[in-house]
Amino acid sequence: MRIDLHTHSSVSDGTDRPDELVRRAKEVGLDVVALTDHDTFDGWAAALAAGEETGVQVVPGAEISTDLRGHGVHLLAYLVDPADQPLADELARVRHDRRARLARIAAALTSAGFPLDVADILAHSPDAATVGRPHVADAMIAKGYVRDREEAFAWWLGQGRPGYAAKYAPPIDEAIHLVHAAGGVCVLAHPWGREGARRALTPSSIEALRDAGLDGIEVDHQDHDESSRRTLRRLAHELGLVVTGSSDYHGTGKFDHELGVNTTAPEEWERLRSLAGVH
Ligand code: AMP
Ligand code: FE
Ligand code: FE
Ligand code: ZN
């Protein structure tokens, strides 16, 4: 059983359509793939239909933008009821502010000497229910300002850079509560992937999140080196948290995150399913 629990389609900042992503999962020999677009469920129907056709088990999910004491932390949610109104409303709020943020980013980049407007950005994300900095990066590439998304983030869009703008995100414990109230389970995404989140996600704050209801942590991720993986795996065992491993595939939008590059053990996936009440 090969299980990949973290991928993005063109419904957020990936480059494959949801059905293409599922077909590719089939090609690379995955048995289970979760679609976890940022802050939206819009890709589920197409992905689930492609799952029926190909025999790949598609897990409906989302990667929710949350806040932990001023740091952006990503929370993977699985098996939630998409009709649950409080969760749907909160995600709509996040998407709405993401859209408003584009104008702030475009203005900042224009003052920094890279003229850009919101229409330029939206022209590069026709399928996206959720827009974000990767789409800004794509617009900058099209204008010839940068070579790739990596360069756009490193120089212009990353935190502390001239084109950075914050966005609304719910406090993480509130997001955990919303996911559970919607019948789902949640896993901390790449906790030690980025510097800011890493500083905020100390072992004791991860323990506090466990107490707030967190179900698991993503240990095997390309942004974690061997020593981070070892430490996080031990911490997960101590805290009784489920351990996952995933690709965080974004199509051609992110290098070195190919589908199936990391996978989740079947027993760990089974634990998540039973925590969500699926048998
Ligand atoms: P946003 O959601 O708008 O705040 O943008 C953050 C998203 O950009 C993350 O979820 C990643 O998918 C992507 N990202 C962050 N850093 C990079 C990078 N260096 N290269 C490509 N994509 C990145
Ligand atoms: Fe992303
Ligand atoms: Fe993420
Ligand atoms: Zn992701």
Q: Are strands 185-188 and 242-245 parallel, antiparallel or unpaired?
A: unpaired
Measure the CA angle with vertex 72, ends 69 and 77; round to 5°: 110
Whether the CB of 38 sits within 6 Å of ligand 1: yes
Mutation test residue for ligand 1: of 7, 13, 155, the one with most atoms within 8 Å of CB: 13
**Domain 3-91+168-275 listed as CATH 3.20.20.140:** yes
Q: How far apart are CA 191 and CA 136, in angstroms?
A: 25
Residue 38 Cα to ligand 1 middle (Å): 10
Whether the CB of 190 sits within 6 Å of ligand 1: no
Whether the CB of 14 sits within 6 Å of ligand 1: no
The minimum-distance atom of ligand 1 relative to the CA of 13 is 12
Mutation test residue for ligand 1: of 140, 149, 167, the one with most atoms within 8 Å of CB: 149
Q: Which ligand is nearest to the CA of 137?
A: 1
- From first to last of its 279 residues, the chain has per-residue pLDDT tens of 999 999 999 999 999 999 999 999 999 999 999 999 999 999 999 999 999 999 999 999 999 999 999 999 999 999 999 999 999 999 999 999 999 999 999 999 999 999 999 999 999 899 999 999 999 999 999 999 999 999 999 999 999 999 999 999 999 999 999 999 999 999 999 999 988 889 999 999 999 999 999 999 999 999 999 999 999 999 999 999 999 999 999 999 999 999 999 999 999 999 999 999 986
**Domain 99-156 listed as CATH 1.10.150.650:** yes
The string of DSSP letters for 230-253 reads HHHHHHHHHHT-EEEE---B-GGG
Domain boundaries, given as residue ranges, for the chain: 3-91+168-275, 99-156
pTM (2 d.p.):
0.97
Whether the CB of 132 sits within 6 Å of ligand 1: yes
Q: Name the residue at shortest CA distance from atom 16 of ligand 1.
A: 153
